Structure 1
Amino acid sequence: MDSTAHVVHLVLTVEQAAERLGIGRTLMYSLISSGAVESVTIGRLRRIPADALIRYVESLRTGGEAA
């Protein structure tokens, strides 16, 4: 694999998801807890599917609640 290749992750850590949305960890955890952003458990790890962030932003654009 080319070392300059861009890796696209299917799932993100809470920190990665927060960074993509431009928000803090605490707010990201709040969005997960409220069900506004979908998350999954893989073993003992909490992960956010990358497409869940797209769905969340789309819901905001169509009048959904932020948190």
Structure 2
Amino acid sequence: MQPVLLPVYPDASQALGGLGRTKVYELISSGELRTVKIGRRRFVPASAVEEYVARLERRGAA
């Protein structure tokens, strides 16, 4: 079963090809990468990673 929510770091970073922590937080701050908050923790939905990659692919095709 695929995880639905990824901890921001390191799992979301690994799902994005090993991006650094700073870059992942930049993507979150800019709104490029969607997150959800549960209690005091922040997670990146796996679907948000897929959406971000799809946007990158569309930009590359243009």
- How far did 1:8 drift? 2.1
Q: Find out whether 1:8 has 2:2 as its counterpart.
A: yes
Runs of 4+ in 1 over 3 A off after TM superposition: none
RMSD of aligned residue pairs (Cα, Å): 1.3
Structure 2 segments unaligned to the other structure (5+ residues) = none
The Cα shift of 1:42 comes to 0.5
- Identical amino acids, percent of aligned pairs: 45
Query: Normalization by structure 1: what TM-score?
Result: 0.80
Which protein is richer in helix relative to its size? 2
Alignment of 1:1-67 (within 5 A): 7-15=1-9, 16-21=11-16, 22-63=18-59
Q: Distance in 1 between matches of 2:57 and 2:4?
A: 23
Look at both structures and tell me which one has the larger radius of gyration over its CA atoms: 1
